[in-house]
Amino acid sequence: MEDRYQMAFSRLEDIASQFYEQLEKGKIPEMKIATRSKNNIKFNKRSGVWKLGNSKSTRSAKKMSGAVMILRTLYMLDFIREMIDTDRSSTLREMYYISEGWDKAKFGDQSESDRLAEDMEIVSDCLREDFKLRPEEDGARIIGDIVVEEKTRKGDLRKLNCRDDVGDSGYTIPYNVEKDKVNFSKVNVDFIIAIETGGMFDRLVENGFDEEANALLVHLKGQPARSTRRLIKRLNEEKGLPVVVFTDGDPWSFRIFASIAYGAINSAHLSELLAIPSAEYVGITASDIMNYDLPTDKLSQTDREALKQELEDPRFNTRFWKNEIETMLAINKKAEQQALAKYGLEYVTEVYLPEKLGELGII
């Protein structure tokens, strides 16, 4: 076993030991978990990210629901221990189905098992990758002049230039991008542009924006996977690359930016590993809709409610975001980043992005 897995193994044993000690002392088993909600995230001045606060909830076997959750926890701990011990891994989906064999403890749906995996991260201070758990979805793509070093299945080192050695689809980010698996031996780009949609990623690739602007293009695939956020974070932190985020202009896209720059609420316990406080927004705004006269759609009621929630979200408590959110509510319109094609396929790379990036001093 590698050191990171040994550490995870030890901390999982500590959780099980706490339950055993409580029972040995005649106490009803319980476990305290940090509450994950926007009311329990606090800004950490030292790291510049939003992290979980001090509010905690208690899971106690006093009630049947609490007893079931503790039983599920023990089953999951044993499942993870077995994977680490045998050097196997599981997708989060497989873990959900594994519970079908857990007597009186199977999950009702995958959201329950995913949430418990996050709980294990919080109480152990480890990553789910340290537990040999991986997501189901394919990785996002990157294109740009950097050389990635990654270990093959046989443990050999492979080097790949993410511009010259890949096709138009780019290099696919693996689920585990920690230093024992992935490193960067050459980084010849000036900044990272993280792009929400596959259509816009492909447009920038076809227009040669990675070479023209000397940028690393990253396809976020909507709300980005942890591995994508972690890779961007590592390049920003280790190589000093500025990060800009290019999304649609709607409340859900604003949240994509928030997860990258400020940290997501559900993974606030990992904000220092994932969030990039210096990230800048170059996506579509309400001001852009008016200034560029973009094609739009009317906000749905769900959109409006989401925007109102963002006005109460501490991560959006800045003059820029309040102005843009209030303006979007006022004009009652949203727009996709591909709406820029109104002015031609080259417009986004010849006019829009150069203007936005120029204002930020990126290019």
For 177, the token pair is 């991008």
Q: Which residue do the tokens 């006022």 mark?
A: 330
CB 289 within 8 A of CB 261: no
Q: How many helices (H) and strands (E) does the chain have?
A: 14, 17
Query: Distance between CA atoms of 94 and 77, rounded to whole angstroms?
Result: 15
Using only the alpha carbons of the chain, give its radius of gyration: 22
Catalytic residues, which ones? 97
CB 146 within 8 A of CB 232: no
Q: Count the neighbouring beta carbons within 10 Å of the beta carbon of residue 21.
A: 11
**48: phi > 0 → left, psi -120 to 50 → alpha, else beta; which?**
left
- Provide the 8-state DSSP code for 61: T
Query: Distance between CA atoms of 42 and 319, rounded to whole angstroms?
Result: 19
DSSP per residue, 146-167: EEEEEE-TTS-EEEEETTTSS-
DSSP per residue, 262-301: T--STTGGGHHHH--TT-EE-S--HHHHHHTT---EEPPH
Indicate if the alpha-carbon torsion angle 46, 49, 50, 54 is positive or negative: negative
